[in-house]
Structure 1
């Protein structure tokens, strides 16, 4: 079993250290499955005793031999974590903001490389999440489906023959799956094609959100694209639809990058070089500027313009420059200005290590 420090002291999850397919554009792929237990009210209506019984039942499943082959797993109780530790887990996408705010028998089950995160007593009794680097939505689904089957072998899921899996939110009823990719689209933004692309995405039943999901801003040209429909389609149809649309977006982004290099090469070089220079020497930087500068530098790395920065460092800085991790790194609570100073210092250190 790993301690909570193992999961909160490192900004970069081990699964992010590998490079997946199309990783110059797709940062990560994620599958999340929502499930509830038949004999218990949904978490928002559960008593303390009922949510504890759900947690106990889920804990027992962790002893399953087949599940252990996928693991090993560690269970962290949210009640035993401080606010800063919870915030770091949110920033690493290992738990949701909703679970971080849940004090009644909320827990998260993590495997050692943090590619699997199973939230207990969040909006639903179970939220099984699998993450892969790059564009590997089908591989993430294979793992999530395997874990789901193992849990279903031990737990009596809430299921209706007509409606499918029952969930707290009606938008998850049916398959209960949410498939999403985190995608970096700076060229589509710079060539002013992004609004047309995003509009087309929503018309085919997909949702577009920011880095931290619903209600978050698309900072640093990072967009989360996911299915909206969970009812009336099979799991495979949902995965295939998302895969096909994202494949087209990747091609549009690649074409936009070529256009920028061909038509506005000097301006592009200037933009990327300025951001690289500012991040290498700035003494103070807020989170919004950091996200935009990181986007420019990432584009420069992907296009071969910047050669002395590794993509892994940029992935790490995505998390390390967030407010929770900055304070974790500093070992103390920081004011907004102190965080801006620390953020700039951290970026300088990372860039100068390269």
Structure 2
């Protein structure tokens, strides 16, 4: 299979496509946590109860598939997937790293374009997620809300009038919503303003996390900004708050980029040029080094310093160079040194 065909088959559409504010915002996600009223939370449930959760979801999906555009929803038990394919789900941001640690009696529901992902028996019975490219929080919210309504017609979720939806972790109770945006902030990082951004967004009930969410690092200057408060606010208020703060962060990043172009253009050209040269000609490259250079090159592409390189190609590479994806492309298990060789080979091909 050619690399282009592999990209079309394996990389979600919301990563491949360009959305609003894509020079800074890679994607938007809205997630809803839901639990059955008559079953214990997953961490307290028996194997029988966990299997009952999967059974109910399987039956519900068969009914929902009669409603466009959900005909291609598919339930995938984790224990029927290879370890490599489970890791790929994490690398595509479709499931959390914690979700695949214990894959027994767990499943994920996906649609064909992978704009929908429902984790079954993670921290909660259901974690319903919808993704959109760029800054499209409202679109992601409308899609996840529509799917949630359909599920609720068939399933009885734990809900109290004064507390909202009940969740395994009290911090998710109420709306059960986690909305997030994935942002690329190289200029704020270069000017050492990231700490200030983190502090500022916290004042609005938001938090900043790493590339793969809670407890992970921000490789390639890519961060996730999400809401912390789910109780006492309407879903629309959470979306609006995150949207407004994200717009402000975008303005700050663009201001820093303009400042660097005005007062340090030669240094920036050197940095981006070195990144391009290394990526295009290196024969051995680690994941961390590649992410650093891809971040610099993405900044250069956004500023039109390297018009021959598209942001989409870079965003695809960010996914393709991850360890599990590399091994999937090569069709074999690879050790760390072999991955560094193949990673460089793949990047050279993509940038050629």
Cα distance in 2, alignment partners of residues 269 and 175 from structure 1: 46
Give the C-alpha shift of residue 67 in structure 1. Answer: 6.1
Give the C-alpha shift of residue 343 in structure 1. Answer: 1.0
Give the C-alpha shift of residue 10 in structure 1. Answer: 4.1
Cα distance in 2, alignment partners of residues 177 and 101 from structure 1: 23
CA-to-aligned-CA distance 1:78-115 (integer Å, 9 cap, x gap)? 01011111001110011222221233321111111000
Alignment correspondent of 1:42 = 41
Gaps of 5+ in 2: none
Cα distance in 2, alignment partners of residues 9 and 79 from structure 1: 26
Alignment correspondent of 1:217 = 217
Q: So what's the TM-score if we normalise by structure 2? A: 0.95
Alignment correspondent of 2:302 = 302
2:115 is the counterpart of 1:111: no
Conserved in 2, the CA contact under 8 Å of 1:38 and 1:158? yes
CA-to-aligned-CA distance 1:278-315 (integer Å, 9 cap, x gap)? 00001111111111100011011111000111222111
1:237-276 aligned at under 5 Å gives the runs: 237-276=237-276
2:285 is the counterpart of 1:288: no
Cα distance in 1, alignment partners of residues 97 and 309 from structure 2: 31
Cα distance in 2, alignment partners of residues 226 and 14 from structure 1: 22
Alignment correspondent of 2:169 = 169
CA-to-aligned-CA distance 1:5-27 (integer Å, 9 cap, x gap)? x9999442123222111011100
Conserved in 2, the CA contact under 8 Å of 1:102 and 1:122? no
Alignment correspondent of 1:201 = 201
Cα distance in 1, alignment partners of residues 323 and 61 from structure 2: 33
| Aligned alpha-carbon RMSD (Å) | 1.6
Matched pairs, number: 347
Alignment correspondent of 1:75 = 75
Conserved in 2, the CA contact under 8 Å of 1:78 and 1:107? yes
Cα distance in 1, alignment partners of residues 158 and 97 from structure 2: 24
Conserved in 1, the CA contact under 8 Å of 2:7 and 2:316? no
Where 2:317 maps in the other structure, the secondary structure is helix
Conserved in 1, the CA contact under 8 Å of 2:64 and 2:151? no
Alignment correspondent of 1:52 = 51
Conserved in 2, the CA contact under 8 Å of 1:66 and 1:150? no
Give the C-alpha shift of residue 213 in structure 1. Answer: 0.4
